[in-house]
Structure 1
Amino acid sequence: MRDGVNGAPATSLGVSEWVRSSASSAAGQCVELGAMPDGGVAVRNSRDPHGPALVYTRTEIAMFVEGARSGEFDHLIE
Protein backbone atom coordinates (compact mmCIF):
# COMPACT_ATOMS: atom_id res chain seq x y z
CA MET A 1 0.00 0.00 0.00
CA ARG A 2 1.11 3.52 -0.62
CA ASP A 3 1.56 5.72 2.41
CA GLY A 4 0.42 9.32 2.39
CA VAL A 5 -2.77 8.81 0.40
CA ASN A 6 -4.34 5.83 2.16
CA GLY A 7 -7.49 6.89 3.93
CA ALA A 8 -7.91 10.02 1.81
CA PRO A 9 -11.43 10.71 0.52
CA ALA A 10 -11.98 8.69 -2.65
CA THR A 11 -13.19 11.81 -4.45
CA SER A 12 -9.83 13.53 -3.92
CA LEU A 13 -7.69 10.96 -5.73
CA GLY A 14 -8.22 12.05 -9.34
CA VAL A 15 -9.92 8.82 -10.43
CA SER A 16 -12.06 9.51 -13.51
CA GLU A 17 -13.84 6.14 -13.58
CA TRP A 18 -14.57 3.63 -10.84
CA VAL A 19 -15.14 0.00 -11.85
CA ARG A 20 -17.01 -2.69 -9.94
CA SER A 21 -17.41 -6.38 -10.62
CA SER A 22 -20.40 -7.49 -12.67
CA ALA A 23 -20.89 -10.09 -9.92
CA SER A 24 -21.71 -7.35 -7.41
CA SER A 25 -25.08 -7.44 -5.71
CA ALA A 26 -27.86 -5.00 -6.53
CA ALA A 27 -27.69 -3.81 -2.92
CA GLY A 28 -24.28 -2.27 -3.65
CA GLN A 29 -22.25 -4.65 -1.55
CA CYS A 30 -18.99 -4.42 -3.38
CA VAL A 31 -15.73 -2.60 -3.75
CA GLU A 32 -14.79 -0.42 -6.68
CA LEU A 33 -11.36 0.09 -8.20
CA GLY A 34 -10.08 3.09 -10.11
CA ALA A 35 -6.86 3.98 -11.89
CA MET A 36 -5.14 7.06 -10.49
CA PRO A 37 -3.30 9.55 -12.71
CA ASP A 38 0.04 8.66 -11.05
CA GLY A 39 -0.34 4.94 -11.80
CA GLY A 40 -1.76 3.82 -8.47
CA VAL A 41 -4.99 1.85 -8.08
CA ALA A 42 -7.53 3.12 -5.56
CA VAL A 43 -10.06 0.85 -3.83
CA ARG A 44 -13.25 2.21 -2.25
CA ASN A 45 -16.44 0.88 -0.69
CA SER A 46 -19.32 1.32 -3.14
CA ARG A 47 -21.69 2.08 -0.26
CA ASP A 48 -19.55 5.07 0.74
CA PRO A 49 -18.18 6.53 -2.52
CA HIS A 50 -17.04 9.75 -0.83
CA GLY A 51 -15.41 7.92 2.07
CA PRO A 52 -11.82 6.82 2.52
CA ALA A 53 -9.97 4.80 -0.09
CA LEU A 54 -6.94 2.57 -0.01
CA VAL A 55 -4.29 2.98 -2.69
CA TYR A 56 -2.12 0.18 -4.04
CA THR A 57 0.52 -0.11 -6.74
CA ARG A 58 -0.42 -1.88 -9.96
CA THR A 59 1.93 -4.72 -8.97
CA GLU A 60 0.14 -5.18 -5.63
CA ILE A 61 -3.25 -5.34 -7.38
CA ALA A 62 -1.88 -7.79 -9.96
CA MET A 63 -0.59 -10.09 -7.21
CA PHE A 64 -3.96 -9.94 -5.41
CA VAL A 65 -5.86 -10.75 -8.61
CA GLU A 66 -3.55 -13.68 -9.32
CA GLY A 67 -4.12 -15.02 -5.81
CA ALA A 68 -7.88 -14.64 -6.20
CA ARG A 69 -7.81 -16.44 -9.56
CA SER A 70 -5.92 -19.35 -8.05
CA GLY A 71 -8.36 -19.66 -5.13
CA GLU A 72 -5.99 -18.58 -2.36
CA PHE A 73 -8.72 -16.58 -0.61
CA ASP A 74 -11.66 -18.91 -1.14
CA HIS A 75 -11.56 -20.12 2.47
CA LEU A 76 -12.38 -16.57 3.63
CA ILE A 77 -15.83 -16.62 2.00
CA GLU A 78 -16.85 -20.25 2.37
Structure 2
Amino acid sequence: MEFLNGVQASALSAVTWIKSSHSNATGNCVEMAVLPGGHIAVRNSRDPQGPALVYTRDEMAAFMEGARVGDFDSLIG
Protein backbone atom coordinates (compact mmCIF):
# COMPACT_ATOMS: atom_id res chain seq x y z
CA MET A 1 0.00 0.00 0.00
CA GLU A 2 1.40 3.39 -1.02
CA PHE A 3 1.08 6.40 1.27
CA LEU A 4 2.12 9.86 0.16
CA ASN A 5 3.49 12.62 2.38
CA GLY A 6 0.77 14.98 3.43
CA VAL A 7 -1.86 12.23 3.56
CA GLN A 8 -4.79 13.23 5.76
CA ALA A 9 -4.32 11.53 9.11
CA SER A 10 -8.06 10.86 9.19
CA ALA A 11 -7.48 8.46 6.27
CA LEU A 12 -5.24 6.44 8.59
CA SER A 13 -7.93 5.58 11.12
CA ALA A 14 -7.03 1.88 11.21
CA VAL A 15 -3.58 2.53 12.72
CA THR A 16 -2.59 2.97 16.35
CA TRP A 17 -1.01 6.35 17.08
CA ILE A 18 1.66 6.55 19.79
CA LYS A 19 2.13 9.88 21.57
CA SER A 20 5.48 11.06 22.85
CA SER A 21 5.90 10.72 26.60
CA HIS A 22 7.29 14.26 26.50
CA SER A 23 3.96 15.72 25.35
CA ASN A 24 2.26 18.23 27.60
CA ALA A 25 -1.15 19.75 28.30
CA THR A 26 -0.62 22.59 25.80
CA GLY A 27 -0.51 20.07 22.96
CA ASN A 28 3.18 20.27 22.13
CA CYS A 29 3.54 16.71 20.98
CA VAL A 30 4.11 14.42 18.07
CA GLU A 31 2.40 11.12 17.38
CA MET A 32 3.66 8.26 15.25
CA ALA A 33 2.08 5.15 13.78
CA VAL A 34 3.31 2.13 11.83
CA LEU A 35 1.39 1.83 8.56
CA PRO A 36 0.55 -1.32 6.65
CA GLY A 37 3.72 -2.23 4.77
CA GLY A 38 6.00 -0.85 7.49
CA HIS A 39 6.20 2.87 6.70
CA ILE A 40 5.90 5.26 9.64
CA ALA A 41 3.50 8.21 9.77
CA VAL A 42 4.09 11.30 11.91
CA ARG A 43 1.41 13.82 12.83
CA ASN A 44 0.91 16.82 15.09
CA SER A 45 -1.45 15.81 17.90
CA ARG A 46 -3.00 19.30 17.91
CA ASP A 47 -4.37 18.53 14.43
CA PRO A 48 -5.16 14.80 14.48
CA GLN A 49 -7.26 15.02 11.32
CA GLY A 50 -4.66 17.09 9.48
CA PRO A 51 -1.73 15.97 7.36
CA ALA A 52 0.66 13.21 8.32
CA LEU A 53 4.16 12.84 6.94
CA VAL A 54 5.17 9.34 5.88
CA TYR A 55 8.70 7.94 6.12
CA THR A 56 10.37 4.61 5.46
CA ARG A 57 11.67 2.68 8.46
CA ASP A 58 15.25 3.44 7.35
CA GLU A 59 14.54 7.18 7.12
CA MET A 60 12.96 7.20 10.56
CA ALA A 61 15.78 5.12 12.05
CA ALA A 62 18.35 7.60 10.68
CA PHE A 63 16.39 10.55 12.09
CA MET A 64 15.92 8.96 15.50
CA GLU A 65 19.60 8.03 15.77
CA GLY A 66 20.54 11.61 14.83
CA ALA A 67 18.18 12.94 17.49
CA ARG A 68 19.56 10.47 20.03
CA VAL A 69 23.15 11.65 19.51
CA GLY A 70 22.27 15.36 19.47
CA ASP A 71 22.55 16.18 15.75
CA PHE A 72 19.51 18.45 15.93
CA ASP A 73 20.03 20.06 19.34
CA SER A 74 21.04 23.39 17.76
CA LEU A 75 17.58 23.67 16.20
CA ILE A 76 15.86 23.97 19.58
CA GLY A 77 18.49 25.28 21.89
Unaligned runs of 5+ in 1: none
Per the normalisation by structure 1, the TM-score is 0.88
Structure 2 CA distance for aligned equivalents of residues 36 and 28 of structure 1: 23
Provide the residue aligned with 1:58 in structure 2: 57
Which amino acid counterpart does residue 20 of structure 1 have in structure 2? K
Question: Bigger CA drift: 13-22 or 28-37?
Answer: 13-22
Structure 2 CA distance for aligned equivalents of residues 15 and 5 of structure 1: 16
Per the normalisation by structure 2, the TM-score is 0.89
Unaligned runs of 5+ in 2: none
User: How many residues get paired?
Assistant: 76
Query: Percent same amino acid among aligned pairs?
Result: 57
Structure 1 CA distance for aligned equivalents of residues 14 and 57 of structure 2: 14
Q: Is the 8 A contact 1:14 1:36 kept in 2?
A: no
Alignment of structure 1 residues 65-76 onto 2, 5 Å: 65-76=64-75
Q: CA RMSD in A?
A: 1.6
